């Protein structure tokens, strides 16, 4: 499986990557974010949302799923607090709603993720330096990675 690595040196660079990916968005897009606390998942999400015309993103820590209206609907999930990934809160329904789904801590619900998606792992490599490892699953996502890198 092909991986694409991008090193960023600031939040602004992470946001720029998010904006590049956003420019390739399509209905039903699923982006899965993983990485330790403070590695850039929410920064990425805010940058992506901002490009869609969504100004204010708040962490969905207690609600798990937040819906925003932009050029396409944005479904922002933070599944960190899900005790049991089998818990039926209807996550899968969002994958077919015609919007963009961004899932933070997606590894927690691996078993219900769609086959076609973009996985992004964030690694902290320095005070402001992050390595983003993009793993596309499916042709559409491979095209996106090739377009932005």
Q: What is the CATH number of the domain that holds 119?
A: 3.40.50.300
Q: What backbone torsions phi and psi does residue 135 show, to the nearest 5 degrees?
A: -120, 105
Q: Mean pLDDT throughout 126-131?
A: 95
Kindly give, in sequence order, each residue whose CB lies less than 8 Å from that of residue 36, ignoring residues fewer than 6 positions away. Answer: 122, 124
Burial class (CB in 10 A: 0-12, 13-18, 19+), 124: middle
Asked if the model's pLDDT at residue 149 lies above 90, the reply is no
Q: Which of these, 85, 55, 91, lies nearest to 70 by C-alpha position?
A: 55
- For the chain, the C-alpha Rg in angstroms (whole number) is 14
In a domain, 86, yes or no: no
Containing structural domain, residue 60:
4-81+91-148
Q: What is the pLDDT of residues 5-64, one digit of tens each?
A: 999 999 999 999 999 999 999 999 999 999 999 999 999 999 999 999 998 887 655 678
Residue 23 domain-assigned (yes or no) = yes
What's the structural domain count of the chain?
Answer: 1
Which residues in the chain belong to E strands, given as ranges?
4-8, 30-35, 65-69, 73-78, 100-104, 117-124, 130-137
pLDDT digits (tens, 9 = 90+) for 48-107: 999 999 988 876 556 788 999 988 999 999 888 776 545 567 899 999 999 999 999 999
Q: Are 144 and 118 in contact (CB under 8 A)?
A: yes
Nearest-angstrom CA–CA distance, 59 and 46: 10
**What is the pTM for the complete model shown?**
0.93
125 in a domain, yes or no?
yes
């Amino acid at each position: 499986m092909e991986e694409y690595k991008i090193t960023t040196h600031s939040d602004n660079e992470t946001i720029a990557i998010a904006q590049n990916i956003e420019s390739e968005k399509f209905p039903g897009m699923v982006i899965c974010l993983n990485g330790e606390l403070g590695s850039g998942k929410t920064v990425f999400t805010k940058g992506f949302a901002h490009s869609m015309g969504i100004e204010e993103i708040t962490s969905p820590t207690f609600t798990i799923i937040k819906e925003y209206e932009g050029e396409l609907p944005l479904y922002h999930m933070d599944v960190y607090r899900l005790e049991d990934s089998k818990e039926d809160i209807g996550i899968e329904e969002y994958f077919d709603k015609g919007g963009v789904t961004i899932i933070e801590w997606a590894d927690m619900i691996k078993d219900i993720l769609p086959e076609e998606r973009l996985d992004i792992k964030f690694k902290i490599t320095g005070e402001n330096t992050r390595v983003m490892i993009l793993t596309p699953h499916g042709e559409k996502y491979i095209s996106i990675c090739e377009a932005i890198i």
